[in-house]
Structure 1
Amino acid sequence: MAAENNEDNPDSITATRPTDVELAQISSHPSKTENPFLVAFAEPFDADNPKDWRTGRKWAVTDVLSATGFNRIMVSTIMAPALGTIAKEFNMNSTESAMALSIYLLATAFGPLVIGPLSEVYGREYILHASGVWFLIWNMICGFSNSKEMLIASRFLAGFGASAIYALANGVLGDVWRPEQRGRSLGVYVLIPLLGAAVGPIIGGFMAERTTWRWMFWSTSIFQAVMMAVSFTAFQETHEPLILHRRAERIRRETGDSRYYTIHEHINANRSTVRVLAKALSRPIQLLAFHPVVQISSLISAFYYGILFIVLSTFSDLWTQGYHESIEISGLHYIAVALGQVVGSQLCGQMMDKLYQRLKARANGEPAPELRMPSVFPGCLFGSLGLFLYGWAAHYRLHWAVVDVGVFITMLGLQMTGLPLQAYVMEAYPEHTSSAGAAQQFMRSLTAFLFPLFAPKMYDTLGYGWGNSTIAFIGIFLGLPAPLIIWYFGAKLRVKSGMLN
């Protein structure tokens, strides 16, 4: 797209374009500009503006993204119950078998750093379809692997394609939903993918007992092919710059007048495609390196996300080794994980919107990303309480229902912490939501990859009681002061960090 912006006589375009100061003014209120050649969405309503789409169309795009995320996230955990079987077949040691599971998550750390910025250059639709094809190919190869090296390598490459869902989620939801609808839209979006992470081990447990582990990958590849067919027909482009670029191209073609342009075409008018891509690809790293609000929010989010994968990767072992249950029955306990995440996401979605409206009214109607921070505190407390209950119930081998209640409360708390932090970065960087989301996801995926590696040793040394208590204490130490820093100083830190372009 960046290269195409220069095709139509750039000299004639530049002659009629405003200065950068004027550009900043008209970008806030494009309909008020007197420049007749600026192509922008009409105010107060424009049928092509994703934020003005009818509600059903918005939910269609959101649901396609959510259903696509279900499969890609389910694959990250589906092989957990079969790790012992796979390790035996390929003669893998404990580190290699853990790597086969978690290498997928490592790929989802690095994938969004590339895919997120690309979606801000070429649009969401192309990236969703291309990543879907990539994921389908490598996930299918996982099922045909005949060596541990081939399995680990194909898992990494499949994870890279799957990571597009993390990069696109913030961007698409930010494209179509307004801040007042953020909680509900996030709650509905994460509902199905969250089920994927928890349902994966349940399905994997039954497959490990009743058929070959390879069907874990073949069946999810079939599902992916179906979802690709749906996305090709139901998903529509949501990225504002690309929609406006297509409108400008159409007007230039129909009128024969090359002076029509968009704001983003003006910004990139003197930049080559290579320079545009380099700037975009460096943006997530820039956010992580120089923007304290991204660093702080990513740190909190990453820690709690890592806890999720500690539970997902070790929960089956607790039931098979500690409670001596079968693999099939151990997988059923992941229902508590799924229920906690579902209830947490839906409660948090409703709470976020109501609290945001109330705080916004107190601030004289002025919106601010920092208004999301008070929603983080209940999740921190619930998450820590759940960890204490889960850990000590498992330590003393109390009834299975007590352990599941503890896990349910833990998952509920994790969701009530994660959603407001995701909403915060979306609203703090509205022009670059995918890049901001990629920066946050990088930290989250790193902890999801690393935490399960040390979790078995931690439980062997400390036991479930003190192991979970240690995690809970760290969670309280991070989860309470850090949001307060953003609440009081976030606006100043964002201004001090400077704007992205």
Structure 2
Amino acid sequence: MGSAELAEKDADQQDLEGIGDDSTLSVQAGGTDTDDGAKLDGRQETSWDWNTDPHNPYNWPTGKKAIQVCSIASIAFLASMGTSIMSTAPEQLRAEFDVTLTQSILPLSLYVFALALGPVVGGPLSETVGRLPVFIGGLIGGTLFTLGAGFTHSFAGLNILRFLAGFCFAPSLAISTGTINEMYKPVQRGLPSTFFILTPFLGPGIAPVIGAFVTHRKGWRWTQWTMLFFCALSLLLIVPFGRETFHPILKRRRAEQLGHTVPRSPALREKAQEFLTITIFRPLLMLVTEPIVGLVCLYVSCEFATLFTFFAAVPYIFERVYDFSSEQTGLVFLAVVIGCVLGTLTIILCDIFLYRRQIPKHPPHMVPPEYRLYPAMLGSLGLPIGLFWMAWTSRSDVSWVSPVLAMIPFAWGNLCVFISTMQFTVDTYTGSVIASATSANSLTRYGLSGAFPLFAIQMYSKLGINWATSLLGFISLALLPVPWVFFKYGKKIRSLSHYETPTY
């Protein structure tokens, strides 16, 4: 998530590349138009209604949509899995390549940095050539670079190939939300969106478990071979069953098929200007001029960075304090999976019992964005609770069960804060401004997340386990008021924005 696709709240509301906002088009196969639409040259003028056209993804059969969701979810899981599958490999990398501890974490961090940069290219590209070519092309490229990472005997080569693999996989995280929006109307999006959002969050929890076992028993290269198995699964789903979903491209193709003359595509210069504005310049400007964008990015980025710090800190804690093996340490991350599942259930319940109850109280489609923040307000409490709990029970005279359980409220709160604040951001801005806001979030989130593991071990060795984890807890405590302040003063803050925001 976090690209131009989130700007597409409803694909049927877009200006479909100049074909026209009216979904019913009059198409004549030949001859000359007349006022009464009579037959000319023996050819009958026909009417085309995009809303009922079977090529419209909204009208696809349920099974076809489900396969598409499973396909993109598998790629998103694969992309997020790559962030942490090598979290237990640094010791083997140090031994094989004779590098320092910090250097041994670079293959992990560079992959995460690539997730921040990949959508900058992949998002706009998917709106030019279509979603499907970006999905397939990125998946094939990521598969080849992952294969190369498994074979390389150069540490520099490993870093480069891991970065390029992450760069290729990254667009799948950014454009998948748009794909779901293009297949399901708002009232139908609940279940498929929930299923999809959960999959990339499960990756960082499941991958360390897999990585710990294959690294210990087969060596670090098997982390890449394991990735290839998931690549093959995704290819088997997306290549034969994947379909294009981007409405402007599909509508243009359908219009041409029916013989309708469509306007030319925007010139390359216009597309380049739009790309620079939406995905680079405006996101950076919004970070410093829009309180909503700046504070949401800061909050989400710090908590994501804390999660990625765990990839280095958890082995440090549990191997030193509790004498865990690498495989036992990997199993600790199942607590993150449990927290993510609980977070998903929390978001669903908040939507059903809190957000939807506001719908009858407001005009259609005019529920204030602040009502999206209920899960974030709840989750903001879980973050410091989990971190301080983990900080002061990670000692030999306390059972290992306690710090493991402490990771559950943290993971729960992290998912609640991320999803809720992103929904709030999407509801706050309009049009391409949403794309810029979410691009800013993606850049800062993965940028900070890639940096934190590089100094995590030094921080823990200097400050000690208790105070290093407490430092992360103090950061979450300092940022805790963010969703609460937006819930109470959101309307006033929105009114001060430099961009168009809802007035209700």
Which TM-score applies when normalising by structure 2? 0.83
TM-aligned CA deviation for residue 278 of structure 1: 3.7
1:250 maps onto 2:253 in alignment:
no
1:219 maps onto 2:219 in alignment:
no
In the alignment, which residue of structure 1 is the partner of 2:8?
none
In the alignment, which residue of structure 2 is the partner of 1:105?
112
In the alignment, which residue of structure 1 is the partner of 2:307?
308
Q: Equivalent residues in 2 for 1:83-482 (5 A)?
A: 83-181=90-188, 183-252=190-259, 258=261, 260=262, 271-291=266-286, 292=290, 293-365=292-364, 366-395=366-395, 397-428=397-428, 431-432=431-432, 436-481=437-482
TM-aligned CA distance change 1:418 to 1:51, over 3 Å? farther
TM-aligned CA deviation for residue 411 of structure 1: 0.5
TM-aligned CA deviation for residue 88 of structure 1: 1.1
2:319 and 2:24 map into 1 onto residues whose CA distance is 66
Cα deviation digits, residues 436-495 of structure 1 (max 9, x gap): 54332111101110121232232223333333333223223323235633732464356x
TM-aligned CA distance change 1:281 to 1:41, over 3 Å? farther
Aligned residues of 2:391 and 2:470 also touching (Cα < 8 A): yes
Structure 2 gaps, min length 5? 1-14, 34-46
TM-aligned CA deviation for residue 41 of structure 1: 6.0
1:79 to 65, 71, 86: 86
TM-aligned CA distance change 1:373 to 1:166, over 3 Å? same
TM-aligned CA distance change 1:169 to 1:421, over 3 Å? farther
1:52 and 1:423 map into 2 onto residues whose CA distance is 25
2:229 and 2:244 map into 1 onto residues whose CA distance is 25
TM-aligned CA deviation for residue 283 of structure 1: 1.1
Counterpart amino acid of 2:105? Answer: A
2:294 and 2:258 map into 1 onto residues whose CA distance is 42
Cα deviation digits, residues 290-311 of structure 1 (max 9, x gap): 4324333322221221121112
Which moved further from structure 2: 474-483 or 142-151?
Answer: 474-483
TM-aligned CA distance change 1:369 to 1:390, over 3 Å? same
Aligned residues of 1:117 and 1:281 also touching (Cα < 8 A): no
Q: Which has the higher helix share?
A: 1
1:176 and 1:384 map into 2 onto residues whose CA distance is 38
Other structure's SS at 1:371 match: helix
TM-aligned CA deviation for residue 46 of structure 1: 4.8
TM-aligned CA distance change 1:290 to 1:373, over 3 Å? farther
Which moved further from structure 2: 420-429 or 202-211?
Answer: 420-429
Aligned residues of 2:85 and 2:207 also touching (Cα < 8 A): yes
Counterpart amino acid of 1:102? Answer: S
Aligned residues of 1:314 and 1:455 also touching (Cα < 8 A): yes
TM-aligned CA distance change 1:311 to 1:41, over 3 Å? farther
Aligned residues of 2:393 and 2:402 also touching (Cα < 8 A): yes
TM-aligned CA distance change 1:368 to 1:165, over 3 Å? farther
Counterpart amino acid of 1:280? Answer: F
Other structure's SS at 1:218 match: helix
2:22 to 2, 26, 30: 30
Counterpart amino acid of 1:351? Answer: C
Aligned residues of 2:213 and 2:327 also touching (Cα < 8 A): yes
Counterpart amino acid of 1:272? Answer: A
TM-aligned CA deviation for residue 380 of structure 1: 0.7
In the alignment, which residue of structure 2 is the partner of 1:16?
none
TM-aligned CA deviation for residue 396 of structure 1: 6.1
Which moved further from structure 2: 85-94 or 215-224?
Answer: 215-224
2:238 and 2:247 map into 1 onto residues whose CA distance is 19
1:497 to 483, 496, 499: 499
TM-aligned CA distance change 1:287 to 1:294, over 3 Å? farther
Other structure's SS at 2:416 match: helix
In the alignment, which residue of structure 1 is the partner of 2:3?
none
RMSD: 3.0
Structure 1 gaps, min length 5? 1-22
Q: Percent identity?
A: 26
Cα deviation digits, residues 232-284 of structure 1 (max 9, x gap): 122221211111111222123xxxx53x55xxx6xx5xx41242134135412
Counterpart amino acid of 1:323? Answer: Y
In the alignment, which residue of structure 2 is the partner of 1:8?
none
TM-aligned CA distance change 1:34 to 1:476, over 3 Å? farther
2:90 and 2:84 map into 1 onto residues whose CA distance is 10
TM-aligned CA distance change 1:442 to 1:81, over 3 Å? same
1:331 and 1:196 map into 2 onto residues whose CA distance is 13
2:426 and 2:245 map into 1 onto residues whose CA distance is 15
TM-aligned CA distance change 1:200 to 1:206, over 3 Å? same
Aligned residues of 1:384 and 1:475 also touching (Cα < 8 A): yes
1:370 and 1:34 map into 2 onto residues whose CA distance is 42
TM-aligned CA distance change 1:100 to 1:220, over 3 Å? same
Counterpart amino acid of 1:302? Answer: S
TM-aligned CA deviation for residue 55 of structure 1: 3.8
Other structure's SS at 2:323 match: coil
Counterpart amino acid of 2:408? Answer: F
Which TM-score applies when normalising by structure 1? 0.83
Which moved further from structure 2: 343-352 or 58-67?
Answer: 343-352
Counterpart amino acid of 1:332? Answer: L
Counterpart amino acid of 2:55? Answer: D
Cα deviation digits, residues 101-158 of structure 1 (max 9, x gap): 2110011111111111111222211100110111011111111111211111111111
TM-aligned CA distance change 1:40 to 1:421, over 3 Å? farther
Cα deviation digits, residues 78-119 of structure 1 (max 9, x gap): 111111011111001122112122110011111111111111
TM-aligned CA distance change 1:350 to 1:176, over 3 Å? farther
Aligned residues of 2:346 and 2:375 also touching (Cα < 8 A): no
2:306 and 2:168 map into 1 onto residues whose CA distance is 24
TM-aligned CA deviation for residue 40 of structure 1: 8.6
TM-aligned CA deviation for residue 427 of structure 1: 4.4
Aligned residues: 462
Aligned residues of 2:318 and 2:324 also touching (Cα < 8 A): yes
Cα deviation digits, residues 60-85 of structure 1 (max 9, x gap): 22221111122222121111111101
1:212 and 1:32 map into 2 onto residues whose CA distance is 60
Aligned residues of 1:182 and 1:353 also touching (Cα < 8 A): no
